[in-house]
Structure 1
Amino acid sequence: MTATARSRRGVRSLAGLVCGALAAGGLAAAGATALQPGQARASSHREAPLISADPQHDNTDVYAFVSPDKPDTTTLIANWIPFEEPAGGPNFYPFAEGSQHDIHIDSDGDGQGDLLYRWTFDTKTKNGNTFLYNTGPVDSLDDPDLNVTQTYDIELLRLKDQKVVSTTKVADDVPVAPSNVGKASMPNYKKLRDEAIRQVDGGGTAFAGQADDPFFLDLRVFDLLYGGDLSEVGRDTLAGYNTNTIALQVPTAELRQSKKQPIIGVWSTTQRKNAKGGWTQVSRLGSPLVNEVVIPQKDKDKFNASHPWNDADFLPYVTKPELPKLLQAIYKLPAPKEPRNDLVSVFLTGVKGLTMPPNVRPAEMLRLNTSIPPTGSPKRLGVLDGDNAGFPNGRRLTDDVVDIELQAVEGELLGNKNDLGDAVNVNDVTFGDTFPYVALPTSGSRGQLAKKKNGDDAARSALDGGAAVGSSTSGSDGPSDTLLIASASAGAAGVLLIGLGLAWWRGRMRRRGVV
């Protein structure tokens, strides 16, 4: 069986699950009440006006997956601070002090949090009379030459009906891995990262520190959908940028309701003190891209600040999404008929028989079925390619959520077969096999001179316009045969033009002087 055939079998399988949910009335409540409780789905790299001006509180992505090397545990990862330029000193990128970095768990499907893991950070400076982040080479986390240090506490809050029932401290004064200043300052950064991986109470493992940004995509989608003529695709815009990561690996039994009800919902929030001394939620995140490309400008800040039980305000943006209309206007791809109950199933309730808990209250959240074991050969298209351990069943680092969501938005689950994608299929750096799984952060600079001199960065990617290792990028901003419409089969050399016609496309580009 070919890879394409396997992909189509996976699509048919998921489509059948969705149709089954519709037929069984599982989405009958998808009208005025469909989005009431739950959490936001957004990959917030500058996705809303207010939070784009406050990057330290901006959580960029959330991941939840059954740990591949410890399948009796679940790994939760949340990232903060988008677009960290590696050379961004002298202050680099500390976690926000005096704020609450939270990961929420809904273990019964009612859209309300049952568990909440809360990180709070504390910063210390040894010598305030120097501008330096470190005053010499740093060999360990307690090295006196590491001038600016951070530690964190983790609290586990148990909730019922949105009220705290109990609070338990599971980690106290744990060191944060510092920003990766460079080879002279931190000659063995991996050693520093390894020292920051700590055991916490309750049988868990925790990490907080800088990492390579694991999200891979071409953000030039915002230039009228890849330049309006497919000339801007295939480059991982986040290659070479870092982010701040918190990661927690806990026994799965601590998260789920029971073996009979193994599905959990996961999202993250950031809260900071307001002028009155109370807490204000300023960022909110579950799954990728919704606040960026689904929620309109007028409601983006409201979306970030709102609580799950108010999500009904945003329902029309899911059932009547803007993106398919843009694809039709720009690329003549017919928009599926509305209302989009197929997207309600994928984004709000979970897919029946896979990620939909019993008696679910529809809401946007990253849903994970913890009873599905990890696979040794994950497929980047996850459930769409028959890999039920991947997105939208949770989210692994390797899941190509951009391609998955583009294909779903264009009606893949309704029988509208397509291979939409941004031609960026893998991260620019290989992920790890053990906790915390994220790749080490880039050091130095993303500039052209740094590319020639920083030999240790050669195995990552040619930064700032170069080719991402293992991806289908063309390595420049100029035209190439790498298109927005990319094959779901890795063996197909990454490019198929679906729905447009290659001859028509080339003729159009020649008339425009692009090719």
Structure 2
Amino acid sequence: MVLAAGLIGGSGPAGASSHREAPLIAGDPAVDNTDVYAFVSPDKPDTVTLVASWSPFQEPHGGPNFYPWATDARYDINIDNDGDAKADLTYRWTFRTEDRRGKSTFLYNNGPVTSLDDENLLFRQTYTLELIDRDGRDRKLIRSGKVAPSNTGPASMPDYGALRAQAITDVPGGGKSYVGQSDDAFFLDLRVFDLLYGGNLSEVGQDTLRGYNVNTIALQVPKSQLALKGDATRNPVIGVWSDTERQSMILTPGESRAVGPFVQVSRLGNPLVNEVVVPAGLKDKFNALTPDQDGKTPALVNRVTDPEVPKLIQAIYGLPAPATPRNDLVEIFLTGITTKLGGPIKADLNSQLNNADVNPKRFTPSEQLRLNTSVPPAASPNRLGVLGGDLQGFPNGRRLADDVLDIGVQALQGAAVSGIVPALAAGDKVNANDRAFGTSFPYVALPNNAAVNSGAAGAVAPAAGGGGGGGLPDGLILNGVLAALLIGSGVWLLNRRPLRTAVPAVA
């Protein structure tokens, strides 16, 4: 168990999610990375699935504009397969908007939307997906992919699963791309910011993100497309991170204009690095750094060798902090787990140095979410990942159901060398997402369509397989009828095609 705990040690600087983690990005949610996941696809183990989300804390009823992707930004998922901390492959999504509302209505849709081409859907987005290699050469993989819209409610979108299925687009070479809204897959009690769960572990058991949605990009591609030299057998380890680049904005009354070069404004590899490891004065800088700059930033490295959270646990709960410098955390945070550097964790798991064709002289320590794609999917996944004896789990990549908060707290408190810390074994008592994940691509749960403050958040039943809808409580059906009546009035006023007389049943 101590060995397994040692393998998980590097999750310490990770921990959880990255919602509104830095001052500047908190004011620009459309380009704010929230989470990155990377895992061998459980139903297609010859492929890897990469999931990245943006735009945190989306309240389902947050109209009239809801949650579009920025059209003046670049949304990237990066792959480093040779360990030099530079992207060998960048998958880039850019967006276009078709807004049919004009001056005639405030509605996002003016009737039930049953397909992405439905005339009732008044706000639409499409995307281009490019693949850019390390030399800057790009190839367009998808030229006009369709984005699944924000879920505006059960009357407007009676079967969001069908819309999501229509938004899955084939990628040349045997892959798939999905872009659209989803349930926020991360689960935790975020009251860690209230003196670490109230100062006495009384503030636990409440899933802070229950009922909220995010904008999600999911990409599934064969392992060989990501591996160094196309050989996933000799070179199974990849590093993954997402970033967002944006142009500057010139604002004038009633309009805005994007100008100038694109600059990186958000970045995410391992979860919660910027949120609870990086101090406030470095947060905006970290979002602007590229991975090859990490090891050259002493103030950042010092926060890994001497992390803050164990000191807080000691001050508040009286549990001694592990001795510093934390070389176990440095090994995972900057290098991946490998015996080739003589670090404290005596195992080979997920460093690019373990790839047969990597040149050690070019290896550069950096913060990335690293995945060994040769580890097969677990028959019975353990939410604690490697700490629970499941080598496919976090920090070897990150699956949707990995309980990275509980793993991270244990690691920060020394589980890498001492095993589970009994006093913290209960964790935050949020051990799973409130909605089941799918069993096929894109795996994320369907977006919620009930107000977070209604007590019925997540009313649509959990997704089964790759999509699907669900039944609604009677109160929500009544709300849906009222919404349908309101939409129907709008349709009549706008002289568009009539609303169906009956509210469609939710699948």
Moved more, 266-275 or 324-333: 266-275
Give 1:113's aligned amino acid. Answer: A
Aligned equivalent of 1:119: 93
Aligned equivalent of 1:104: 78
User: Aligned with 2:452: secondary structure?
Assistant: coil
Aligned equivalent of 2:496: none
Alignment partner of 1:296 is 2:247: no
> How big is the shift at 1:44?
2.0
Aligned equivalent of 1:444: 450
2:245 to 271, 274, 280: 271
User: Aligned with 1:348: secondary structure?
Assistant: helix
Aligned partners of 1:295 and 1:317 also within 8 Å: yes
Aligned equivalent of 1:135: 110
Give 1:262's aligned amino acid. Answer: P
Alignment partner of 1:237 is 2:198: no
Taking the aligned partners of 2:60 and 2:322, their CA distance within structure 1 comes to: 42
Q: What fraction of aligned residue pairs are identical, expressed as a percent?
A: 58
> How big is the shift at 1:202?
2.1
> How big is the shift at 1:456?
5.8
> How big is the shift at 1:346?
2.2
User: Aligned with 2:129: secondary structure?
Assistant: strand
Moved more, 76-85 or 225-234: 225-234
> How big is the shift at 1:348?
1.7
User: Aligned with 1:300: secondary structure?
Assistant: helix
Distance 1:454 1:302, change over 3 A: closer
Which residues in structure 2 correspond to 1:211-230 (within 5 Å)? Answer: 211-230=182-201
Aligned partners of 1:60 and 1:81 also within 8 Å: yes
User: Aligned with 1:246: secondary structure?
Assistant: strand
> How big is the shift at 1:189?
1.1
Alignment partner of 1:155 is 2:130: yes
Which residues in structure 2 correspond to 1:53-202 (within 5 Å)? Answer: 53-128=27-102, 129-159=104-134, 163-164=135-136, 166-202=137-173
Distance 1:18 1:243, change over 3 A: closer
Taking the aligned partners of 2:173 and 2:390, their CA distance within structure 1 comes to: 31
Alignment partner of 1:380 is 2:366: no
Equivalent pairs counted in the alignment come to 429
Aligned equivalent of 2:268: 285
Give 1:356's aligned amino acid. Answer: S
> How big is the shift at 1:172?
1.1
Taking the aligned partners of 2:23 and 2:324, their CA distance within structure 1 comes to: 29
Taking the aligned partners of 2:156 and 2:162, their CA distance within structure 1 comes to: 13
Taking the aligned partners of 1:407 and 1:155, their CA distance within structure 2 comes to: 39
Aligned equivalent of 2:364: 361
CA RMSD of aligned residues (A): 2.4
Q: Deviations over 1:69-95 (max 9, x none)?
A: 000000000000000000001111111
Distance 1:216 1:186, change over 3 A: same
> How big is the shift at 1:127?
2.8
Aligned partners of 1:103 and 1:267 also within 8 Å: yes
Aligned partners of 2:350 and 2:396 also within 8 Å: yes
Aligned partners of 1:40 and 1:304 also within 8 Å: no
Aligned partners of 1:151 and 1:173 also within 8 Å: yes
Taking the aligned partners of 1:43 and 1:18, their CA distance within structure 2 comes to: 17
> How big is the shift at 1:96?
1.0
Taking the aligned partners of 2:372 and 2:459, their CA distance within structure 1 comes to: 42
Taking the aligned partners of 1:367 and 1:110, their CA distance within structure 2 comes to: 13
Taking the aligned partners of 1:382 and 1:454, their CA distance within structure 2 comes to: 29
Distance 1:18 1:40, change over 3 A: closer
Taking the aligned partners of 1:61 and 1:139, their CA distance within structure 2 comes to: 29
Aligned partners of 1:78 and 1:247 also within 8 Å: yes
Taking the aligned partners of 2:98 and 2:242, their CA distance within structure 1 comes to: 26
Give 1:66's aligned amino acid. Answer: V
Q: Deviations over 1:421-461 (max 9, x none)?
A: 2111100100000000000000031223x639968699899
> How big is the shift at 1:274?
2.3
TM-score of the superposition, structure 2-length normalised? 0.81
Aligned partners of 2:292 and 2:365 also within 8 Å: no
Moved more, 60-69 or 301-310: 301-310
Aligned equivalent of 1:252: 223
> How big is the shift at 1:14?
5.1
> How big is the shift at 1:364?
1.1
Taking the aligned partners of 2:457 and 2:440, their CA distance within structure 1 comes to: 31
Taking the aligned partners of 1:372 and 1:132, their CA distance within structure 2 comes to: 48
Aligned partners of 1:50 and 1:301 also within 8 Å: yes
Give 1:306's aligned amino acid. Answer: L
> How big is the shift at 1:18?
9.0
Aligned partners of 1:429 and 1:460 also within 8 Å: no
For structure 2, the 5+ residue unaligned runs are 250-258, 339-347, 354-359, 463-468, 474-507
Give 1:355's aligned amino acid. Answer: N
Aligned equivalent of 1:481: none
Taking the aligned partners of 2:184 and 2:207, their CA distance within structure 1 comes to: 11
Aligned partners of 1:41 and 1:365 also within 8 Å: no
TM-score of the superposition, structure 1-length normalised? 0.80
Aligned equivalent of 1:326: 312
User: Aligned with 2:126: secondary structure?
Assistant: strand
> How big is the shift at 1:41?
9.1
For structure 1, the 5+ residue unaligned runs are 1-7, 22-38, 463-515
Q: Deviations over 1:147-175 (max 9, x none)?
A: 0000011000000xxx41x1100011111
> How big is the shift at 1:416?
5.2
Alignment partner of 1:209 is 2:180: yes
